[in-house]
Chains A and B, each alone.
Chain A
Amino acid sequence: MLIPHPLLGLRDAAEFTYLGDAALIERPEGDIENAQDVFHNYLFLRDNPAGEHRELWFHEQGDRSWLVVTRNTVTHEIIKAELARDVAIQKGRST
Chain B
Amino acid sequence: MTDLTAIPPLGGTQPLVEKIGDIGIVEVIDRALASIAVRAGQDAALSELMASKFEIGLPEAGQCLETKPSRIWWMGPGQWMMDGDHDSREDLAAELKAALGDVASVTEQTDGWCRFDVSGSDLSEMFARLCGLDFAALKSGAATRTLLHHQGCFVILSELGASVLGPRSSAGSLHHALVAAAKSVA
Considering only residues 145-178 of chain B, those with a C-beta below 8 Å from chain A are: 145-147, 152
Q: Mark A51-86, 1 if CB is under 8 A from B, else 0.
A: 000000000111111000000000000000001010
Interface membership of B11, Cβ < 8 A = no
CB-based contact A7/B77 at 8 Å? yes
Contact yes or no, A65 B132, CB < 8 A: no
A83 touches B147 (CB 8 A): no
**What are the residues of chain A within 8 A of B8 when measuring CB–CB?**
none
Nearest CB on B from A75, distance (A): 23
Within 8 A of B (CB), among A9-48: 9-12, 14-15
Residues of B within 8 A of A11 (CB): 132, 146
* C-alpha spacing A8/B134, complex, angstroms: 12
Q: Which one of B74, B75, B146 contacts A15 once the chains associate, using CB atoms below 8 Å?
A: B146
B77 touches A63 (CB 8 A): yes
Chain B hits for A95, CB < 8 A = 40
Taking the nearest CB of chain B, how far is it from the CB of A52, in angstroms? 26
B101 at the interface (CB under 8 A from A): no
- Check A61 against B61 for contact (C-beta < 8 Å): no
How many angstroms from the CA of A85 to the CA of B61 in the assembled complex?
A: 16
Complex CA–CA separation, A65 to B152 (angstroms): 15
| Distance between A22 CB and nearest chain B CB, rounded to angstroms | 18
Contact of B132 among A9, A15, A60 (CB under 8 A): A15
B residues less than 8 Å from A61 (CB atoms): 145-147, 152
Q: How many residues of B contact A (CB 8 A)?
A: 15
B 105-154 contacts with A by CB, 8 A: 132-134, 144-147, 152
CB A5 to nearest CB in B, in angstroms, measures: 9
Cα A61 to Cα B147 in complex, Å, equals 6
Q: Is B146's CB under 8 angstroms from A63's CB? A: no
* CB within 8 Å of A: which B27-85 residues: 40, 61-62, 74-77
Known: A10-B134, A12-B132. A65 touches B77 (CB 8 A): yes
Write the nearest CB–CB distance from A1 to chain B, whole angstroms. 11
Contact of B146 among A9, A62, A65 (CB under 8 A): A62
Other CB < 8 Å A-B pairs besides A9-B62, A12-B133, 8 of them? A7-B62, A14-B147, A15-B132, A61-B145, A61-B146, A62-B146, A64-B76, A65-B77
What residues of chain A have their CB less than 8 Å away from a CB belonging to chain B? Answer: 7-12, 14-15, 60-65, 83, 85, 95
Q: What are 6 A-B pairs with beta-carbon distances under 8 A?
A: A7-B62, A11-B132, A12-B132, A61-B146, A61-B152, A85-B77
Return the 3 tightest CB-CB contacts between A and B, nearest first.
A12-B132, A63-B76, A7-B61
